[in-house]
Each structure stands twice: as structure tokens, then as C-alpha cells.
Structure 1
Amino acid sequence: MKVAILGNQARAMVNFWSVLIRRLRTLGHEVLCIVPDADTDTEGRAALEAMGARVAGYPLDRKGLNPVRDAATFAALYRVFRQERPDVAFCFTIKPVIYGATAAALARVPARYAMITGLGYMFEADSPIKRVLTKVAALLYRVALACVRTVFFQNMEDRRVFEDNHIIPHSTSVAMCRGTGVALNHFALAEPVLDPPTFLLVGRLLEAKGLREYAGAARLLKAKHPDARFRVLGPPETGPGSVPLSEVEGWTREGIIEYLGQTRDVRPYVADASVVVLPSWREGTPCSVMEGMSMGRAAVVTDAPGCREVVEDGVNGFRVPLRDPEALAAAMERFIADRSLIARMGQAGRRLAETEFDADKVSEHILRIMRLA
């Protein structure tokens, strides 16, 4: 069969779906990866092709709210699906699901599936404009999900939001999965750094990742533990909900945060850390935390949807309230005060990754539901 995988970044497709793509190729399926034309990540495209996939492009404004541009996205996806005629379309992230699933149905792709990887900016209904966006997004999702056989959710809270807003049609089945999983051999166990205690946040520069809370916690802890290191690794973002790069660089000049820029391979940075931190407001299932767990790193996360699925409080890390720098600092300080927690909770995280988040098991689960394995 020909399987089309539609996403919003070549890098994300490589990082999150490599195991699935390789498994599809091993089973003898043809794989078409559809990524944005504006994505200049030639290395990401080359990596997809090295897995045996073909790559096609389409226009996408990931963050924009321009209906004319979104209409162009929809029309282009319809043309791609009509030309390629895949047997299966698998769409993930917001706009690829909303426009891709509908375009695939109109182009008569026989089997269509969607994965909700997180609710994103439009479901943060904390202002009048966001409440309007929530209603628009709910309507668009309702149309798109009426076009798919199965919608996958990565956590129960996201599923409940969709159910409470009557977004999932009765004709569409619902399945749960452990995010995209983590490649255990790729993110191999490594001894954590104990001295100096080093905390690492991996994520795009978005306010919803809890970047400002992390900086606030680092400021509090630096005053008491000047040797402790607080690092941020991730690409800059623009548009609604982003944290300006200039603000992050200001924290660096202040001496509280080390901004490491972006990378294709997080493993050296995780290896040079004691604990991974993600004070996110909401996640699907946080890949950065799963990758850290696989490498034997304890975690500090918020008690938020998605995050609470990967961290058992007091076992492989700590959970703290949302948007609370003081509580975040207190949890991080426990690792500074008792370095034995770093190794003990890191080992527990690795065990949890092996039993619950193995990407091979996650991929097999998805492919069985899609009737491809």
C-alpha cells in the first residue's frame, strides 16, 4: 500500500516518526512524506529519503491565521492527494489534521487517520480572541474528524476536551497511544551529571512551554546555588505565544540561563544534564521528557495534561503546579540538596520508558489499528 504521512515540519517527522516510517518500509509499504514547501530543512528531507520514503511539498503557514493562505494549503493538499492517490493518509499536528484529512476525503483517499498531538494555542481560551479561535478550531476539527476512520489521542485530557465540545463524530472511532514513543536504543542510557547540578529544558521558545517560569525558578536558585546550571535548548519561534529570542538572550546576559540554540541531536545535551525540566501548560505527550527518561534522566514537569502521563510524582521525578516559579524552584532544589535522587529517579525513568514508551511498541499499536501490520 501507499501511505501518505502529512506533517508541518520535516524535522518533526524525522524526530517523531522515524520508527513508524522504517516499520512501514520493512512491511513493504510505499511511504510518501508530505512536508511544507517553505521548510528549508534539506537535511530533514534527506533523512526521510534515506529511510526509503519519498517527499512531497505543500504551502503552509504554520502559525498564521490568514484564511486565504489556509485555503491555498487546502487546495494544494487536495492536488497532492489526487496526483499521488495514496491508499492511506495519516495526518498529525493542527493544520495538517484540519486541512489534510478533509482534502484527503475530497480526493477519495480510501483510509484516513488523524493524531491529536496537543491542543495548541487555539485552545488556550484565556482571552476573548482565543475564545473565538477555540470555537473556530472546534468547528474545523469537527469537519475534519468526520472524514477519518480513527482519531488517535495522546492523553485523556485532550480526548475529554474534544468530547466535551462535541468535536468527535459518532462515525469516528477513538484510540489512545503513548505519544510517538521513544527509540530506546537511539536514546541510550547514560550516566547523569551530578556536579554541578545541571537542569535542561528542551523545547521551542514558546510561553506555553513554561520558559518564563523556568527563568524565574532559575533566578531564585542561582541566588542560593550559584554553581547550578540552567539550560535551554530549542529553536526560536515567531507569532502568537512565542517568547522573543531577545528575551531569552537577556536571561543569558543576566547569568541565569544558558541558551544553547537548536540542534538536530539532543543526546549530547541530555547526556550533559542531571535533570530534564518541562514546566509546560499543556502537552500531547512530551517527547523531550520521554527522551530524557530513556537516557536515564529524572524529570520535573507541571501537573498538566500530557506531562502527568510520563512522570509519576516521587518516582521518576516531581510534578508541580502550573505557572508557579516558586514551586518549580522548590522541586528542582530537591535534586541539588540530595544528589542521590538524580540517579535513583533517572533509573526509574528508564524503566518506565522501556515498559510504557518504547517507540517500536507504539508504532505496532498504531499500524495494527490502521490495518497495515
Structure 2
Amino acid sequence: MQKLVRITTIPLSLEKLLEGQLTYMNDHYEVIAVSAEEERLKKYGEENHVRTFWIEMTRAITPLKDLKSLYKLYRFCKKEKPLIVHSHTPKAGIIGMLASKLAGVPLRLHTVAGLPLLETLGNKRKILDFVEKLTYSLATKVYPNSFVLKDIIKELGYADDDKLEVLGQGSSNGIDTNYFNPENYTDEYRSNLRRDIGIPEYDFVYIFVGRLVSEKGINELVTAFVELESKNPDVSLLLVGPFEQELDPIDPEVFKLINSHLKIYTTGYQQDVRPYFSISNVLTFPSYREGFPNVVMQANAMSLPAIVSNINGCNEIIKNGVNGLIIPVKDKNALVKEMSNVLNNVTLREKLTQNARRLIQSKYERKQFWEILLKEYKELEELHKHD
């Protein structure tokens, strides 16, 4: 059986962004997952029945460490001789594509799930631009996970159109709507969970799921909520995810508000976010940049409409006024307005809620995405045989 190497910078991306996918592919290829964090990666391999190979990688710019990682992966590829190396995330992308190119791997694939560099300026931006362009030049094919992201990549001059392809309707993994199903949770369960967290039983709950960092729009979300709650006391804000104050800190005043405001609740990182969606009414996701955000698909699959920024990915999953509402980026006032709108306009809210799950099921079902990706692998394999 041919070998397929899948690389992400950290195992969390394997667990969340590619959940179930490597296990599915293991029926068709000998899959090897490559990532950092040795113990967590090993656990991932055991749980998903795939081989693993540990390489130290960081999400920061660390040239000396990166050279060591590059050499280690090069040696690994020379020894294993995989047919395909498929990378995700920026650091894994450059190391994966360069090592596999040097090792003579025939099919080098890279998925782009967003461009963190879009929020970067100055010399750091120039370095990141160079690395991104180099990554794409080393790849056989590049898969932006949204149509708007593909256009951005072309506009930035990172790659030509013939190298770029969006698989299916977008996404990196689709979504399992049997798993993300609101009917899995009883009224009693939801009532008990609200009580355990401290959320009043009849409050209208806005939920955010993701890293609690500046670029996810947390500053705008918290200040918008505080303003809204001062006029509508029967609302709560539920923040599900970890702080990353060392990487992308939120404003100190906002951090204080999160910890002191009586109607803002935090859970920290959660392996399973479905229970929290089940006790909420709407996803508020005012992020500055995304690829194709899983959390928006997950919320919709759980029959939650979403208020999202007008950025790629978000504005492809959400149709304004159909399954959610779209606001300008970094616009707190627009966020307050639409949070109020979805709270007070019952007719609108019911329409958005009814459409949310149905739209996800029709466009982004996970098994369908896996089949599309497998077909892509097999077609590239056939082309390689005839080269």
C-alpha cells in the first residue's frame, strides 16, 4: 500500500481540523501523521489507528529549530518514500513541502486554511510573504479551503490559478452532522448544564468558540456584549476556548471584564463543544481572518444561526439573512446592532435557525468531503503513473 504523510504543526490541528479524516484515508493508504508535541501526537495515533512521527515545530519564527525539523523530516521521507505528503498550517507547510521536495516525494500537497499573515505588517510580513510563496512553489498542488481565499492567494501573487483548487464547496474536512446534532441533547441535560455553569435558565445566550485572542474579535465581542447587556439584562455571553495572552493578547481592560462581569462565562478549552452549543441561541464570531471556520459550520449544524465578520470562509458559509448575519470587520457598533436584532426580532431569529442546519447538510457533509479528497488523491496518483 502506498504511503500518505499528513503534516500539521501541532496535534490539535489533527484532532480538530482533520477529525476522522486520517482514519478514513488509512483504508486506502498507509497513513503517517507528523506533528509536534510527542506525547499528544502518540495518543492521537493510538486513538485514530495511524502511524505517527514526531518533529519539534513551533508556530513562531524559529529558524534554527526549523532547520533541525527540516533535516529530520527530509531523512524520514528518504527512508519511508511516501507517494504523497500533504501539509496543513503555515509552519508545517514550509517544512513539509521543502523536505518532501528535497527527498523526491512525487506528490506534494498543501492545504491553506487561512492566512495569519494578513494581519501582519512590516518586515515580518515580508518574511511571511516569502515563506508562503516558497511553500506554494514547492507544492505540486495547493488547496485553499474557500473560494474567496483562492482569489486572495491569486491577488497576492503566491501561486497561479492552475496550481490552486478548492475541493467541493470548500472546507478542509466538512462536518459530521450526525455528530453535531442538537437532538442529541435533552431539555433536562441542557437545563442541568446551564445550572452547572451558572447561566440563568431563561437567558438568551451568545456563544463564542475558539481561541480567546485579539484577532478573533474578542475585544469587540466583549465590549459589544457589555453594552447590549446594560439594556437587555436577560442575556449571557459564553466564551468556550483558551486564552493565548502570550501570542495574541486581548486588551487588558477586556481581560478584566471577562473575569469580572457577572454575565460573561468562560469554560477554557473543551474537547467537545457540542454541549455548549446546545445551551446557546446564536454564535457570535467577529473574527478578523479565517480560512473556512469549522466553528461556524458546527454552530449551524447544531441549529444555531451565526453573526460573522465579512471575511472569506465566514461569508461563504453564512448567507446574510438566511442562516446568519454578516457584519463589517472590527465594527463593534454593527455587532451590537445585529446582536440586538437577533435577540429582539423573533421572526428573523426563527427563520435563521430553521435554515442553519439544512444548509450545512446540503453543502458540507463530512463523508462527502472525504470522498472528494480521496478521488483527488487517486486522480493525482494515476497522473503520476503516466508521467
TM-score using structure 1 length: 0.90
Q: How has the CA–CA distance of structure 1 residues 245 and 99 changed in structure 2, closer, same or farther, with 3 Å as cutoff?
A: farther
1:249-303, Cα deviation, whole Å (9 max, x unpaired): 5423133521111110001111111111110111101111101111111110011
CA deviation map 1:283-338 (0-9, x unaligned): 10111110111111111001112210111100111011111111111111122213
Equivalenced residue count is 362
Corresponding position of 2:260: 253
Task: Report the alpha carbon displacement of residue 123 of structure 1 after superposing the two structures with TM.
Answer: 2.2
Q: 236-245 or 207-216, which moves further after superposition?
A: 236-245
Match of 2:56 in 1: 59
User: In the aligned structure 2, how far is the partner of 1:228 from the partner of 1:45?
Assistant: 42
Q: 1:113 aligns with which of 102, 109, 115?
A: 109
Aligned to 2:11: 10
1:151 alignment counterpart: 142
Please say if 1:123 is aligned against 2:147: no
In structure 2, which of residues 318, 326, 330 is the aligned counterpart of residue 323 of structure 1? Answer: 330
Aligned partners of 1:225, 1:45: CA distance in 2, in Å? Answer: 48
Shift of 1:160: 2.5
Partner-residue secondary structure (3-state), 1:263: coil
Task: Find the counterpart in structure 1 of residue 99 from structure 2.
Answer: 103
Kept after mapping to 2: 8 A contact 1:205/1:245: no
Q: CA deviation at 1:350?
A: 0.6
Given residue 214 of structure 2, which amino acid in structure 1 is its aligned partner? E
Partner of 1:83: 79
Counterparts of residues 195-234 of structure 1 (less than 5 Å): 195-234=202-241
Structure 1 counterpart SS, 2:99: helix
Which residue, out of 181, 194, 210, partners 1:188?
Answer: 181
Residues 295 and 196 (structure 1 numbering): CA distance in 2 closer, same or farther, change over 3 Å? same
Shift of 1:243: 2.7
Q: Structure 1 residue 107: deviation in Å? A: 1.3
2:367 paired residue among 351, 360, 370: 360
Q: Report which stretch shifted further, 47-56 or 298-307.
A: 47-56
Show the counterpart of 1:31: 31
SS in 2 for 1:231: strand
User: Could you tell which deviates more after superposition, 263-272 or 341-350?
Assistant: 341-350
d(CA) in 2 for partners of 1:244 and 1:225? 24
Shift of 1:216: 1.1
Q: Which amino acid aligns with 2:123?
A: V
Q: Deviations over 1:209-250 (max 9, x none)?
A: 100010011111110111201111112224443337995354
Aligned amino acid, residue 285 of structure 1: F
Cα 1:345/1:166, change in 2 over 3 Å: same
1:297 partner SS:
coil
Kept in 2, the 8 Å contact 1:5–1:32? The answer is: yes
Tell me, yes or no, if the aligned pair for 1:145 and 1:169 is still in contact at 8 Å: no
> Which deviates further from its counterpart, 104-113 or 240-249?
240-249
* TM-score, structure 2 normalization: 0.87
Distance in 2 between residues matched to 1:67 and 1:181, nearest whole Å: 34
Tell whether the 8 Å contact from 2:31 to 2:50 is kept in structure 1 after alignment: yes
Residue segments in structure 2 that go unaligned for 5+ positions in a row: 191-200, 382-387
Which runs of 5 or more structure 1 residues have no equivalent in the other structure? none
- Provide the aligned C-alpha RMSD in A: 2.3
Take 1:14 and 1:135, find their aligned partners in 2: how far apart are those partners? 31
Partner Cα distance (2:203, 2:124) in 1: 44
The verdict on how the C-alpha distance between 1:101 and 1:246 changes in structure 2, with shifts beyond 3 A counting, is farther
User: Would the aligned equivalents of 2:20 and 2:48 in 1 still touch at CA under 8 Å?
Assistant: no
Equivalent in the alignment of 1:348: 355
Instruction: Give, as a single letter, the amino acid of the residue that structure 2 aligns with 1:110.
Output: P
> In 2, are the aligned partners of 1:115 and 1:151 still within 8 Å (CA)?
yes
- Aligned equivalent of 1:72: 68
Q: Which amino acid aligns with 1:258?
A: Y
- The one-letter code matched in structure 1 to 2:55 is Y
Query: Aligned ranges for residues 270-285 of structure 1 at < 5 Å?
Result: 270-285=277-292
Residue 173 in structure 1 maps to residue 142 in structure 2: no
CA distance in 2, matches of 1:45, 1:237: 24
Contact 1:114-1:152 at 8 Å conserved across structures: yes
1:161, CA displacement in angstroms?
A: 2.7
The answer on 1:137 being equivalent to 2:137 is no
Native 8 Å contact 1:155 1:285 kept in 2:
yes
Q: After TM superposition, give the deviation of residue 197 of structure 1 in Å.
A: 0.8
> 8 Å contact 2:238–2:264 — kept in the other structure?
yes
Where 2:31 maps in the other structure, the secondary structure is strand
Alpha carbons 2:223, 2:254 under 8 Å: kept: no
Alpha-carbon offset, residue 49 of structure 1: 2.4
Q: Which residue identity is paired with 2:27?
A: T
- Decide whether the 8 Å contact of 2:219 with 2:251 is kept in 1: no
Identity %, equivalent residues: 23
**1:239–1:77 CA distance, 2 compared to 1 (3 A):** farther
User: 1:45–1:250: structure 2 CA closer, same or farther, 3 Å change rule?
Assistant: farther
Call closer, same or farther: CA 1:363–1:248 in 2, change over 3 Å. Answer: farther
Q: Is the Cα contact below 8 Å between 2:221 and 2:286 reproduced in 1?
A: yes
Secondary structure of 1:309's counterpart equals: helix
Q: Distance between the aligned counterparts of 2:241 and 2:7, measured in 1?
A: 23
Instruction: Identify which range, 172-181 or 324-333, moves more after superposition.
Output: 172-181
